[in-house]
Structures are given as structure tokens and as C-alpha cells.
Amino acid sequence: VIVLRDSTLREGLDVPGLRFSLAEQLRLARNLAALGIREIEIGAPGRARQAQELHRRIKAMGLPLRTSGLVFGFGDYAAELRHAREFDRADILMPLGPRGPRTKRDKLHALTKALDEARVLGLRGPGAGLPHASRHEPGYLLEFARAARQHGATRLILYDTDGSSRPDRISALVKALKGVLPIHFHGHDDLSLAVANSLAAAQAGASFIDCTLNGLGDRAGNCPLEPLAVNLHLRAIPHGLKLRRLKAVSDLVAGWTGLRSGLFPVTGELVWQHVTRTHRGQPRLFEAFPPELVGARRKVPKRPGDLRARSAAASFEKAVRTRRSIRHFTRQRPPRSLLRRLIQDAWHAPSSMDGRPWHFVVIEDRGQLRRLADIKSLRQPAEKSGYPCGFLAEAPCAIVICVDERLSWGREVENAALAAASIMLCAHASGLGTTYLSAGRPGAPALEREVRKALGLPARIKPCVILPLGYPLETPGPKAAGSWRSRVHADAW
Ligand SMILES: Cc1cc2nc3c(=O)[nH]c(=O)nc-3n(C[C@H](O)[C@H](O)[C@H](O)COP(=O)(O)O)c2cc1C
């Protein structure tokens, strides 16, 4: 059985700006285990210590997953090696490009020395990883393979680091080297050949293949697990996966990242839809394999609708329907560029006679946040005792929306509330959380007066809404749909 090692939590996290919370990482690990994945890569060079916590949690959950990590075999790697001892396996990397020791001799020497140290430290089943291996001839790589075996390596990882190789070449390399050590292939998708190269490696006798869900990875990504697994299945190469779970796991990650094309093979949203007349009559004739194999469902819609309108509306609707008030935040301060963007978003809100009467006071000073929290708490009406406002003092920042009364024509609160709605939705869509807090209300002038004083506002500027902002430390579920239907009235009440 070929071992598919999932690297979504290592290479996948190289997608610029992509983060998964620890809870999400554990949920993913659980899903990968249920899919039948038996090894996951979690530790990157320089990140072995951070990955230890994930390793421990995976073990505490009793998941049948081997964890593995990577350590560079040159430079100051002693501490990294010690941290990597905890993983079920760790691979020592020796880049065969310009990085690391310069000459071949130096590289060979450094690799064998690091493998010796790994053995002394008790690293389990160390592999020797050769980034840029696919640029080299089999003879050159054989020397590394033999030296690695002599020094205790249990597998050889061949990296097509820049995704520039071809299936015939990968096949030749695997055939030349597999007699020395079990081969592990790691491909990138820069030229859309990662699946073809990985399949060639498998057919040539590789024992391990790296892949990521939905092909996540830096640049054009890594070898996508979904089409690779189906290709192995269709060629009767045993892979050990429960393919009917593929769609659900792929969907889970696509939902978090938004990074899967509708046309993505095997699990994309459009892959199982048949719309043209000839296809609708005999959909199976146009399918490489039945959708049930991967847990997908065939769709033969009467009308496909307008794709462009649908996808734009769907992402907006998702933000609208998943927004909730957030009252617990991490300490991390949102970048100023993001706050500026939110204010620009508000600037596009509707306002009475397009007066755009808004002013935005951005508060990051802790004393100022506490002052506002104290004012809100003191002036909170009795009926709102269930909504304490102390959390405002714990937020990393806040935006107070004020309006210029001369540009508002008596519609101060409406104008401010519409700007607030834009900020709240855009903040949520950007991963931030907030809660609407009124800065004043009719019949209670003290609240407005005190906020005005704390912010030093001129007489004509009215404070209306306080929006604490930060990264959520809570994830309230979506709200129940409720009985909105009974509130809809046709033409009159
Ligand atoms: C006009 C207005 C005033 C609000 N005042 C407060 C408040 O004083 N304290 C608070 O914690 N939340 C306040 N909220 C937030 C609401 O409690 C919250 O929107 C509501 O419970 C629905 O929850 P959701 O935002 O998660 O959908 C206010 C919301 C609005 C629209």
C-alpha cells in the first residue's frame, strides 16, 4: 500500500496569509484519520517547537496518525532536532540547490553528520530529504541515497521543489534509487504536473507520496490529494483511503480557505453538474468515475442560473448570515491598514442626501478604551443588565462613529447605523469581530455628553456608535433562521 502523507498542516500553511486555529487543525487531523490517512506532516524547518503542541494533542486524542516534521541538516539545528524527537518521524533536509553547504562533498558530509546526531538523540525513523532533487541526474542522487542509508536514514524524500519536472523523469529517478532506500516523492504544481509526477512516482515504485487537501501550498500549491487518490484507485494502486469521505474533507478545507475552484477535479462545486442537453440525457457517458466514489452527488439542474451573480451573492450572503456579536477578543491588534479599509467600506454606505456626515475616531489607547467602557457601564439602563459593556476595555481597539449634525438633516442615528453595518459585515468577512454599542440614546443625554467629553468632540459632532474591534476569541454559532415568514406582509399588513 502506498502511503499518502498529508502535508496540509505544513505545506498547506505556506499559502500566503493562511492560518488555521489549533481547534481547526485538530478537527482536520480527525477528518484525515477518518479518511484513512496514516501520516501527517506538521513540523516545518524552524517550527518544530510550535508543532509539538499539535503533536501532543493529536496523540492525546488517540488518533491513528503518525506525525512527522522537517529539520534542516545544516546550520544551528541542535535545538530543532531535540524538539523533533517527539514526532513519530522526522526528516533531515539537505537542499541540493544553492541553499546550505556549497559543494557536493560538503552537502554529503553535513547530511551524514546530521543523521548521526539524529540517531544519537533518538529521532525515530529519520528520513533524508533532498529539496531540488529532480534537477539532478540519478548518479548524483545515488551517492546521497547510499550515504544516507549508511548513516541510518529509513527513506529518501525526492523533492520536485519548483514543480518543473516531468513524469518520465520522476519515473526514472524513482527506479534508479528505490533499490537503495524506500522512496518518498514530494511534488509541486507550478506546471500542473504534480498529480502526473506523483502518479509516475507511485507507478515506478515509490512507497510514500506527499499531498495536500485541495492542493494547498505556496505558489501554485502542492500535489492535490483528491485527484491523486482517485487516479491511484483507477489504476488499482492500493492507497488505504476511504474515498467516499474525500468530498466532505475537501469541502471542510474549502469552506475555511475559500481556495478551491469550482472546476477543481473530483470535488469542485461544478464538477458533477451536467447542463448541456446531450450531457443531461446520459451524464455517465461524460464522467471519468461515478460521483458516489468520492461522496459527491450528480446534479442535473433544469436551469444553471447566472454563475457570476450566484458566486458573488453567495460570498456576501455567507458574511451576512454568519456574523455574530463578538465580546471576547485576542490581544492581537488589527493592522491599521485593515482599520483604514473598514473605514473606506463605511464611506460607501448610503446616507441622507449623500451627506456622508461621518467622522471616525479610531481608539487604540488602553486608557481611552477603559474610559469609554466605564461610561457605557455606568450609563447602561437597568433593562440591559444582561449586556455588560466591560468587554470594551479588553478590546484591542475600537472605532467610534460620529456624525456632523450640519450634514445629517436630523438623520444622525440612521446615517451612523448604516456606516456601522458596513463596518460590522466587512470586519466579519476579514476575520475580525465586533459588537454594536450605542454612544447615545434619546432621553438619556448623560451617555452622549460623557462620550463626547472623553473624545473631545466639537459641539456639532454627535457620537452615535461604538464598535470594539479585534480577532474573536469566541465563535458563536449561526443564528436559527426563526419565523421570519410570519413577518412578511403582502402589499398591506
Ligand atoms: C442598537 C443596538 C444596541 C446594542 N447595544 C448593545 C449593548 O449595549 N451591549 C451589548 O453587549 N450588545 C449590544 N448590542 C448587540 C446586540 O445585543 C446583538 O446584536 C444582539 O444580541 C444579536 O446578536 P448578534 O449580533 O450576535 O446577531 C446592540 C445592538 C444594537 C443594534
CA of 422 from ligand 1 middle (Å) equals 15
Ligand 1: residue whose CA is nearest its atom 14: 436
CA of 389 from ligand 1 middle (Å) equals 10
Predicted local distance difference test score (pLDDT) of residue 477: 81
Res. 389 pLDDT band, cuts 50 70 90: very high
Res. 117 pLDDT band, cuts 50 70 90: very high
Mean pLDDT of 133-160: 97
The cell numbers describing 411, all together, are: 438623520
Ligand 1: residue whose CA is nearest its atom 18: 325
Predicted local distance difference test score (pLDDT) of residue 444: 85
CA of 370 from ligand 1 middle (Å) equals 19
> From the alpha carbon of 327, which atom of ligand 1 is closest?
11
Asked whether the predicted pLDDT for residue 49 surpasses 90, the reply is no
Res. 433 pLDDT band, cuts 50 70 90: very high
pLDDT 10s digits, 306-322: 877 777 788 888 899 89
Rounded distance, CA 451 to CA 338, Å?
Answer: 25
Q: What percent of the chain has pLDDT over 90?
A: 83
Asked whether the predicted pLDDT for residue 213 surpasses 80, the reply is yes
Rounded distance, CA 458 to CA 70, Å?
Answer: 59
Pocket test for ligand 1, best of 377, 392, 414, 437 (most atoms within 8 A of CB): 437
Mean pLDDT of 135-158: 97
Residue type at position 473: L
Predicted local distance difference test score (pLDDT) of residue 74: 93
Pocket around ligand 1: residues whose beta carbon is below 6 Å from it? 324-325, 384, 387, 389, 435-438, 476, 479
pLDDT 10s digits, 25-46: 999 999 999 999 999 999 988 8
Q: What percent of the chain has pLDDT over 70?
A: 100
Asked whether the predicted pLDDT for residue 417 surpasses 90, the reply is yes
Predicted local distance difference test score (pLDDT) of residue 302: 83
Rounded distance, CA 473 to CA 219, Å?
Answer: 31
pLDDT 10s digits, 64-96: 999 999 999 999 999 999 999 999 999 999 999
CA of 436 from ligand 1 middle (Å) equals 5
Predicted local distance difference test score (pLDDT) of residue 313: 80
Neighbours of 182 (CB within 10 A): 17
Contact criterion met (CB below 8 Å) for 11 and 215: no
Asked whether the predicted pLDDT for residue 480 surpasses 90, the reply is no
Higher pLDDT, 310 or 451: 451
Q: Which of 137, 118, 120, 136 is nearest to 128 (CA)?
A: 118
The cell numbers describing 486, all together, are: 410570519
CA of 414 from ligand 1 middle (Å) equals 16
What does each C-alpha distance from 91 to 111, 115, 118, 197 come to in angstroms?
Answer: 11, 9, 9, 21
- Give the predicted TM-score (pTM) of the model: 0.72
The chain-wide mean pLDDT, for the chain, equals 95
Ligand 1: residue whose CA is nearest its atom 27: 324
CA of 325 from ligand 1 middle (Å) equals 7
Neighbours of 287 (CB within 10 A): 15
CA of 387 from ligand 1 middle (Å) equals 8
Backbone phi and psi for residue 151, each to the nearest 5 degrees, phi listed first:
-105, 25
- Chain center to CA of 442: 45
> From the alpha carbon of 324, which atom of ligand 1 is closest?
26
